[in-house]
Structure 1
């Protein structure tokens, strides 16, 4: 469906988070793959993605709370506060922590008390300025040629922009993109490698999503995701993480990354900054109002945590050993059972399908309507499966990047992971049907991937609002028939729309039809479709499952 321009309101914040998350998901692997500074741990793209994922989840929770209470939709202040808080508590790595502070700086302006908020465009200008300044203040030793330079350039570029939020966002994006291309000339380690800053590249992605939200048009990025044209040559500059720390002498550096949330007052945090600055580098402390996110690279991880204990109450402590790439959470140490060789972890849209998948031996993560699982839930499911090898089935095209981030995290914990790009639960059913744990891992993955790929999928759902679709303009309440992710049929009756969708799918052939009925499906729809198949398509079998509360009224698979 086409993206339309939006005013700077709560819905715009919601859309911005969603678009930024998808864009970072697309850029994540490339950014991770060439992460070399200050530590070559290959996680900058993943950290940015997980930070925005937490921000987006917090905004969605605010909307869900208002909808459950039957109240008016959230205000701009509600949404930006939730975005900033979600980013703060979910910030990962140096780049993610700085991004959280950028969003917090914007929220401080946009969530000002009613009656004091400047006109929208001017408010966005001031928000971008505050974001850049507050991020720079949060870094113990700011370095030019990093995300801080890109953020400052974005704020500088909006001074002469038209008095329109879309124009301000586009000016910020263009200023950030130009600054990103200039980062190799500002930081020697980037110039030697012939690369640009990855944290800055991530910020350009986030600003591009803001442009698309406010104008309805996605700005093009020369060179593709994670790349920029070299400002003084014809080559392509790849992205490298540009974290704000002085390069370690002699090519060495601290052995651990320590991150934790801290409940403490301002005075205690000021003392904490001084102590941690003496222990290591890459120190970033963001937050306020009693809640802070602390990030530092040190050799003595225990001392960094003890400093937090002295300052207040640290929790969600995460310690990563750079050499081994292992992440440890404080408090772990429960007895471990012997792992199985292989398991399947699947995201399913309803309780009924969860039972079906579990009967087939899969570990499931429930994706309720409007509440997609976060990557952390998927990582926990992988741990629950307790297997040396795991096959992941996202069963939703929009979850591909979330599941990929979870897979990357699971690999750092020593699990061999394969992601099969299933876009619907019916493709997951087909993959699970040919799963054989006794086979070699690669052979099993190939067989499951082939089965999923040979299954066309469709769903029947009710439109929530007026939208532009591939089949024309739909109105709220229309019945939509979507084939392979695109709206193909707009109707007024569930059964008739489902029949049209099924006929179109079977026109290309098929041997098996799978129907998964949601709770809202008419009682007669399955019988009608089964009769239709028997009467019109010889040698095609039909199987029906009850999916429960699954979002779409009906899922259809044709193998």
Structure 2
């Protein structure tokens, strides 16, 4: 079969949007692999967020490769997101006019390895770095052969990356003990396989073997172009399609789809896409007949307003000095007030506002505890938190602005002061939720 010898700027854009859909589609699966260096189950979320930031930068125009690299570097989360951003930076530094052929791809991976080696003081073998290096070496070898093609070079890189990924448990005791491969390396394989899928024109999901249940994603974006044509194209790809028209040729689009990558590619191909947002939805399940899930959410807190706040959110609160008598399927919020967790699924929350963010996505009637815990961990990890230097409204406002300088859609404030949500929201141009909690030092979270 004949494949294109190059990808132009449109193909590069399609690769990036395809990768967004694939990484979001496999987010929970990658999160479940995350045991090193810290078992915080956020690698899949970090890589998906990083790629979303890269694609969001395309809204601003300019060279596609440069925009993707700039957005990824600025939006990188975690070590895995940083490595992903350096791959895109390697592409940007190796290509001219955002055109990729076999030699450019090989050079991009080599450049990415050099960038990552400079960025990480003490690289650890058996991680995404090992997988990236193996892919780069294979691509370089393939590119040196007579008659090498883009398809062949990318295929060779993926084969080497998969082999390196399979070997990661033998290189890291933490992976071997957990019986998993490296999470970041798995995400990198998905990124590379998304490129191959773009070259081949495939519509299937890339990456790890597909789970038994289909993951559905909520896809939201603002679209400018032929709305009727877009609707006809994406309607068969999912359900809950809502198109709220701003004008006759622009609208906010919402759809639930198991083919998020295809939805995104179609939208970019037919018009202009901005404000792209993806969210993993719980897999559809048959409703239980009048049954509720026997699962509690626990946290430790002293008596007083914090306990009152947590209990109002449905949390079972125990004093910090007492152990938490959780069952295996219970959820334990660890806020730093107590380390006595016993059994249960731990959701780390470095602040009270992060804990509230986790509680806000808790689904008490969802029988899939793993999915609920993953969503709660993601919400807690996504919350950026700060404390104002002074307990004044002016200092609170200034701290909110500092946090929002890195982006954000909602501000949550816990304070003993009386904060006017509506007034502050108008000043900051975001949604503000302010909770009055007596005798508490002000906490501000942005997500």
Q: TM-score, structure 2 length as denominator?
A: 0.48
